Copies of this chain bind each other. A is one copy, B any other.
Amino acid sequence: MRFKPNSEALRKLASQEGLEAIVAMSPENFTYASGAFVLTVKMIRPRQAFAVLPAKSDPFVIVCSIEESLTRDESWIDDIRTYTEFVDVPVDVLADHLKEAGISSGRVGIDLAYLPVTSSERLKERLPGVTWVDTTDVIAAVRSVKGADEIAILEKATKATHQATLDAMAASKLGDSEFAMAKRIANNIIDYGADGTLFMCFGSGERSLQPHAIARDDVIPQPGDIIRFDVGGTYGAFASDFARTYSAGEPTDLQLQIYSALIAIETAVIDAVAPGVLAEDLFYLCRDEFKKHGVAFHMPHIGHSFGVELHEDPMLRPGVKTPLRPGMVINIEPVAKDGQGGLYHTEDLVVVTENGFRLLTLGLAPKELPVIGQKIR
């Protein structure tokens, strides 16, 4: 699951922004800018890593020595430098290498939305002449338009995860615990090609209202219960993010109605995806569709871009006036409540194309609320 970041854009970025250099260090910005997936940058935060993109010289990477070989294998950047954990302080090493590259004054970009205060203070001490500028969004903007290889990875991951859930829910039956069903999904996600799971949120009945509930083995969904899951597998630096709603059986008329409205709403929003449409337009359209269907709307966002980060820019929410562009990959995920303890959620991935969009899941959810044990597509 290798990918090539847009290195051409990355090389030009610092000079385009009028900066001496840009340092990518948040887990997602480092992963994208370096093209190397160093798991511990996310999992062990003190083990910081930096992809440095100077305006006037070649890019280089600084990683913990134990991650050198992996980084060298995966990165498009040849110049890999290291520090020794606990002996060196990572930002001190960054400061030294910036100085060595002739950068000790002027404006330098870094992920100020990630850089912790303690690291920032050391950097300022070591490079008192530098003005630090937040470039979190500058790199996120490059990330927002995916290359063909990234789209291929995301499509493969999403289709595999979708199939994993279809098969798991078809194999589930009344009497199974939440945990038994969630386990089936997780096993299928791995069997169908993931190298692990990213998150496995699964709740039934009133627990469906907790978007990030973890399945419990002492909760057995009963007839009339709504079952909602939102799950993702890991595929190297990438992941899947997919949600569906089922009934444990004997759904009420209200449940059938809310569910069908939700699918109609999602379909309308996805159909509107096209280049030039603003991210916030999709949010407002979704809100209007909820109104049209007489369902209460209460979402802060109705979807998000997706790549090496779970919630990427552009987010589909008010205030985001980013026009959609071909190559953007977006999760659309409206959520509805029935006011009787059920939360309904459906989530699909689309890529913006020259003419509109292409669905990256196997297909939208069925128009009628599916019941566990049912073989659907």
Contacts and interface: CB of A to CB of B under 8 A. Distances in A.
A86 B319 contact: yes
A187 interface: yes
B120 A113 contact: no
A212 B39 contact: yes
Interface stretch (A3-11, A101-109, A195-203, A267-275): A195-203
Main secondary structure of the interface of A (DSSP, over half): mixed
Contacts of A234: 197
A137 B236 CA distance: 32
Contacts of A40: 212
Contact of A86 (B38, B199, B214, B315): B315
A78 interface: no
Q: How many copies does the complex hold?
A: 2
B70 A213 contact: yes
Interface in A8-43: 37-40, 43
Contact of A190 (B113, B187, B311): B187
A311 B44 contact: yes
Contact of A85 (B39, B69, B85, B301): B301
A211 interface: yes
Interface string A208-243: 011111110000000000000000001010000000
A214 B197 CA distance: 13
A310 B43 contact: yes
B84 A300 contact: yes
Name which of A40, A117, A119, A120 has the most chain B CB atoms within 10 A of its CB: A117
Contacts of A114: 45, 116
Nearest to A65: B300
A199 B43 contact: yes
Nearest to A64: B300
A183 B160 CA distance: 15
A196 B191 contact: no
A112 interface: yes
A254 interface: no
Nearest to A67: B212
Interface in A167-207: 179, 182-183, 186-187, 190-191, 195-201
A66 interface: yes
A171 to B, nearest CB: 14
Interface in A28-81: 37-40, 43-46, 65-67, 69-70, 73
Contacts of A70: 210-213
18 contacts: A39-B212, A44-B311, A67-B210, A69-B209, A73-B210, A85-B301, A86-B318, A86-B319, A87-B300, A112-B118, A113-B116, A113-B118, A116-B117, A179-B195, A183-B190, A183-B191, A195-B200, A197-B234
Given A70-B210, A195-B214, A197-B234, 8 more contacts: A43-B198, A45-B114, A46-B113, A67-B212, A84-B300, A86-B318, A113-B116, A182-B195
